[in-house]
Amino acid sequence: MASNDHPRRIIRNFIPIQVCKELEFIHKSNCTVGYRPNVFSTTLSHLIATNCAHLIMPFIPIREKLKEKVEEVFDCEYELFIEFTGLISWNEGASIGWHSDDNRSYLEQRDFTAVCYLNSYGQDFSGGMFHFQDGEPTNYLPKAGDLVVYSADNRNIHCVDEINDGERLTLTLWFSRNSSFDEDAKLVSLLTQSILNNESASCIPLPAPSNMYWFSLDQGSDHQQGYDICFARLFILGFNIYTTQGMTCFSEKHILESSDVLMKPLKLVRGDNLYCQEFANLLHALQAVQYYVWKQPALQQSEVTMGTSDIVLLSEEQKEIVHELRSVFLGTKTTFCDSYPAGSSREFHFDWACFSAAIASWKEDTFELHKQLLMHLPFWKDYRSLFSISSLVVEK
């Protein structure tokens, strides 16, 4: 049990690295503008709303494991409800001063916090050290797989240093003793409606309103200098986009109104090469690329081939459209940098054949996750709770 004066504990290697990588894939292919400057977030309700409900399946065993651990550490077995689950990334310039996690009237229901770190200080980002104001331990350097749990009240006032470079990524949960703030009941209701409304059972993502993806650098300005964060994540990985949706020149002040272009079918570009497969929208393309980044090390070791007709050279006219799209939706330096701190590097080997294989694998994995979701949903509806169901129970 944790100390009563400053109830907290750091648990090393709580989440396996492969799970950290899977959650990183989910966040980087779905996140929206967050609650603080230079912060981006992915919530379970957002995944459901954007037709990506199947992506909540990897969270289920982790949420259970975290809840059990928090109840064990703070000696409150069977007393807690999960109030919030989210993936949160802090980018260059993000920070937060001294505070407790229940420091607003609308947050008073929060009793405990669990923060799982999905990447590491010094390797994936610089800055972003975590500090407690009083008690021990005082300072913590984030490391992938580690878990920090603490009470959400003023016994654990804390802060996070400014991120200097890279992207600091966490899975964060808050717990409450008040059942009326149980996240699960709300999620089950959203899931039920989502499945009922999805007559085609398609798992193609449907992007949220464009303002949720637009990172504005000058919020007080009429023309809102900034960039689309989905486009930015593609760009830092070496991709551009091409669309045949009748692109015309956009004036700066109509950027957000023009974002419907990103909701329509488009193709990916790398260098002067155009990948001929069409994606339903920008979010669809981003998920394919992020899946490749996640699975690329394994794909490199397998022998894959693809048809020569799948890749063509861009024409001069197509290059102009690619450039125009980039200037409209990525007209400024992004917050993401290259997602790695200065002085570090990560080799990103790219191969079109591996990429094509990754898309096929991604479709198979998506189908399997959707199948699991459909098997679990009747049980969740009965209990108004999200929990893991063994295959034996499902078969019965």
Q: What is the pLDDT of residues 257-272, one digit of tens each?
A: 567 889 999 999 999 9
Residue 175: φ, ψ to 5°: -120, 145
- Mean pLDDT, range 75-85, rounded to an integer: 97
Identify the pLDDT of residue 338. 52
Listed residue (47, 19, 293, 56) closest to 147, CA to CA? 19
Distances (CA, A) of 68 to 62, 64, 235, 337, 382: 10, 6, 40, 37, 22
Identify the pLDDT of residue 244. 75
At 251, is the pLDDT very low, low, confident or very high (cuts 50, 70, 90)? very low
Q: Residues 239, 244, 250, CA angle at the centre, nearest 5°?
A: 80
Residue 5 in this model has a pLDDT that exceeds 70: yes
Identify any residues that bridge with 9 across adjacent strands, giving them in sequence order. 149
What is the distance between the alpha carbons of residues 124 and 320, in angstroms, rounded to a whole number?
35
- Mean pLDDT, range 273-297, rounded to an integer: 95
Q: Residues 206, 209, 210, CA angle at the centre, nearest 5°?
A: 105
Residue the block writes with tokens 């009237």: 105
pLDDT tens digits along 125-159: 999 999 999 999 999 999 999 999 999 999 999 99
- Mean pLDDT, range 35-55, rounded to an integer: 95
Domains and CATH numbers, the chain: 8-197 (2.60.120.620), 211-370 (no CATH)
Residue 280 in this model has a pLDDT that exceeds 90: yes
Identify the pLDDT of residue 200. 60
Burial tier of 366 (Cβ tally within 10 Å: 0-12, 13-18, 19+): middle
What is the distance between the alpha carbons of residues 146 and 141, in angstroms, rounded to a whole number?
10
Identify the pLDDT of residue 392. 46
311 contacts 274 by C-beta, under 8 angstroms? yes
At 302, is the pLDDT very low, low, confident or very high (cuts 50, 70, 90)? low
Q: What's at 213, amino acid-wise? A: Y
pLDDT tens digits along 305-320: 666 678 999 999 999 9
What is the distance between the alpha carbons of residues 294 and 273, in angstroms, rounded to a whole number?
22
Residue 256 in this model has a pLDDT that exceeds 80: no
Question: What is the token pair recorded at 14?
Answer: 């709580």
pLDDT tens digits along 193-215: 998 887 666 899 999 998 899 99
Residue 2 in this model has a pLDDT that exceeds 80: no
Where helices occur in the chain by DSSP H, the ranges are: 17-28, 44-49, 59-73, 183-197, 229-236, 282-300, 316-329, 352-383, 391-395
At 331, is the pLDDT very low, low, confident or very high (cuts 50, 70, 90)? confident
pLDDT tens digits along 344-390: 444 567 889 999 999 999 999 999 999 999 999 999 999 999 999 97
Residue the block writes with tokens 């907290």: 8
pTM above 0.75, yes or no: yes
Identify the pLDDT of residue 199. 60
- Mean pLDDT, range 84-113, rounded to an integer: 97
Cβ neighbors of 278 (< 8 A, separation 6 or more) are: 265, 266, 267
Mean pLDDT of the chain: 89
Percent of the chain clearing pLDDT 70 (strictly above): 86
What is the distance between the alpha carbons of residues 23 and 278, in angstroms, rounded to a whole number?
26
112 contacts 72 by C-beta, under 8 angstroms? no
